[in-house]
Amino acid sequence: MALAHDASVHRSITKTSYLLGRQCPRRQWLGHHGVVEPAVTEAAVLALQIEASREVESLAAELFPGALRVCREGEATTPYVGVEGTKRALAEAQAVLQAHFEADGLAAISDIVEVRAEGLYLWEVKSSTYEAEGDDDEARANPLYDWDLAYQVHVAREAGNVVIGAGLILLRKEYVRGGGPVRAEEVLIRLDRSAEVAALAARVAEEVAAQQSMLRGSTMPTELPGPRCKGGRKVAAGNRPSDCGHFLPHGVCGRELPVFWAGSLPNLAGGKIALVTGTPGLKIEDLDPNDPAAKWTETQRRVIEGVQTRDEVVDHVPLREKLDELEWPLSFVDLEFDPTMAIPRHPGMRPYDRVPFQWALAIEEECGGGAGGGALLPGAHDSRSESSVRRVPAGRPATDRSPGRAPPGRGDDGAEADREASGRRRHGAPAGADPTLRRHREDRKGGLLPPGPDVLLLDQKAGTRPDGPRLRRPRHRKRNAGGGGVAPSAAPRREP
């Protein structure tokens, strides 16, 4: 397959590139030669993840008072820039942040380098949580992180430095924030990984040499799609850092696969993976659903038959039985959470406790009718308490509800927007109405719920360690609330 890539591009192997090369030579080669990889994670989500990582790195820097920070070439945000700035900083301070090392086409940036009498000690800061338990602490560390550290140590030594060890700085999973400010020594834990890194040194040197030889070639490696295309940060081999964007339908590898690729069957494991990925371009249509040697599960067999016949597969009987259990009034609850808060923001919270910032409720009192409402939970306050809730009148479309920000068009007192919401007719919802509400009302002619009274569901006494939100039980048989997306506590009866 012909690819548009810049053959003149000559990049150093970075830490990220090295880890991707351990996952898939083709993925590394494409990036090295300037082929852009399609994004797997949405930009907004990625930005939140990066922000969380930087917040943890800033907190970790407090563990090393007086540390000097090195910036990248072209940034000049500190007097210490790049490799040369790193050398100066190491000679002047006991710790250096974002230290740059380069040697023979290799490059690495270490989060924190501690200068000790015997040599350098490298620290890698991760925003992951770690739960210390008994005497088996070290065995619980992520294997991927050891390879990350081992590569950094290799480059630093190749650059002429004496490196005596390496370790990880992680978040304590069991940490609970108290009433005061977050203290680095309380929320972070340091793990020495020197022995594990030393055990990988020879393999890292061999792999780096092999990668450099492969990347100098002009021919893209012929790797077949397989399980390694999906990230698995806790895989024992430490060779699956992230999901590959080239595996997407519009990616380099994804474009080569048939629409119904056999590798897309659900719950593939063991020998079945080799069976379906060992033949390039194998289609689901070519599989025998009754092959005794394949030992397909019931779900896999039904998928194969459905693709071959192009018929929808619907379990009418159990679906009808479940729908018959429902009774009106039915409630549809939508809770939105921020799951990326690495450093607890409020007392009683742990790292990555989900913080609610918005909720919405729709109730069908009878088939085809109902009312709804919602609330914003401003991010500037502890949104787990009822006192922080700002009510949104029933009937208002949930167009843009974000932390600390009112919906578009709403003034400080909200009067104009409230009058607008109250004046809407049931069958005349504007184009901006929340599509998630419509999605669960396909049997209704109207688009938006009619105006009605506000409904407040946050319980003052309930909590998430200890003050988080919990839904009171409106008049329905079941309830369900989750982060992101509408979670109906019950669904309207429909003919299957």
pLDDT value at position 448?
Answer: 30
pLDDT in tens, 328-371: 888 888 888 888 889 998 899 999 998 887 878 888 877 766 55
Paired residues of 123 in beta bridges: 112, 167
Q: Which has the minimum average pLDDT: 258-267, 286-295, 396-405?
A: 396-405
pLDDT at 464 over 50: no
Instruction: For the chain, give the percent of residues with pLDDT over 90.
Output: 50
Mean pLDDT for the chain overall: 76
pLDDT at 185 over 90: yes
Instruction: For the chain, give the percent of residues with pLDDT over 70.
Output: 70
User: What is the pLDDT averaged over residues 131-144?
Assistant: 64
pLDDT value at position 126?
Answer: 96
If DSSP codes are grouped into helix, strand and coil, which group holds residue 97? Answer: strand
pLDDT at 283 over 90: yes
pLDDT value at position 468?
Answer: 35
pLDDT at 3 over 80: no
Residues 6+ apart with CB under 8 A from 470: 458, 459, 462, 463
Domains of the chain and any CATH numbers: 15-214 (3.90.320), 257-309 (no CATH), 316-496 (no CATH)
pLDDT in tens, 303-332: 999 999 998 888 899 999 998 888 888 888
What is the dihedral sign for C-alpha 471, 474, 480, 485? Answer: negative
Q: Which has the minimum average pLDDT: 73-77, 128-132, 423-427?
A: 423-427
pLDDT value at position 381?
Answer: 58
User: What is the pLDDT averaged over residues 188-213?
Assistant: 97
pLDDT value at position 235?
Answer: 85
Per the CB < 8 A criterion, the answer to whether 128 and 74 are in contact is no
**Cα separation, 116 vs 108, whole angstroms:** 20
Per the CB < 8 A criterion, the answer to whether 310 and 320 are in contact is no
pLDDT at 195 over 50: yes
pLDDT value at position 376?
Answer: 56
**Cα separation, 215 vs 32, whole angstroms:** 7
pLDDT at 196 over 50: yes
Q: Which has the minimum average pLDDT: 34-43, 126-135, 228-237, 242-251?
A: 126-135
Q: Which has the minimum average pLDDT: 205-214, 282-291, 336-345, 418-427?
A: 418-427
**Cα separation, 397 vs 393, whole angstroms:** 10
Closest CA to 48 of 337, 387, 398: 337
Q: Which residue bears the tokens 């494991």?
A: 269
Instruction: Provide the CA 178 distance to its chain's centre, in angstroms.
Output: 27
pLDDT in tens, 430-460: 333 333 333 333 323 333 323 333 333 333 2
Provide the phi-psi class of 397: left if phi over 0, else alpha when psi is between -120 and 50, else beta. Answer: beta
User: What is the pLDDT averaged over residues 151-155?
Assistant: 98
pLDDT at 97 over 80: yes
Q: How confident is the model at residue 373 (pLDDT cuts 50, 70, 90)?
A: low
pLDDT value at position 397?
Answer: 38
pLDDT value at position 44?
Answer: 87
**Cα separation, 474 vs 457, whole angstroms:** 8
pLDDT at 53 over 50: yes
Q: How confident is the model at residue 483 (pLDDT cuts 50, 70, 90)?
A: very low
pLDDT at 288 over 50: yes
Could you give the C-alpha distances from 358 to 15, 203, 274, 400, 485, in angstroms and in order? 39, 49, 45, 10, 11
